Amino acid sequence: MTSKFSRLQTHLAVISDDMFTHFVKNATEVNARIALEYETKTTKDGALFYVETLPPETVFYSLLIADHPRKKRNKEGKFEEPVLSTTEEVQTYVTKEINSAILQIGGEASTGKGFCRVAVGGAK
């Protein structure tokens, strides 16, 4: 049986700042884009911009810390109880609802960029 973190175990490398700079300069895809007027489909003035994307094989690793959910104020200014009311409920939600989910992060959804799979693992 393979671990859901087997890719991390075989593809993770710790590198120096200089090597990281080299990879950012040479392995980051940069595409020129032009914003269009929605109605006319013509170019907006001064609308040339650049989008940098990471290779699809990129693996991000981060800590996820859950805390007590905050209450928010309703339109009358009174505090409402949050949907998730305890730290344990937040952890359960993340583990069951977000773990193994496919998420799109960033503003390039129309070009198919920014999709990732989330893998939540416990501390060992």
pLDDT tens for each residue of 99-124: 888 888 877 777 788 888 888 875 44
Q: Which of 4-8, 15-19, 88-92 has the highest mean pLDDT?
A: 15-19
pLDDT class for 2, splitting at 50, 70, 90?
Answer: low
Cβ distance 25 to 16 under 8 Å?
A: no
Q: The tokens of 46 are what?
A: 């001064």
pTM over 0.75: no
Q: Per residue in 10-28, pLDDT tens? A: 877 888 999 989 988 888 8
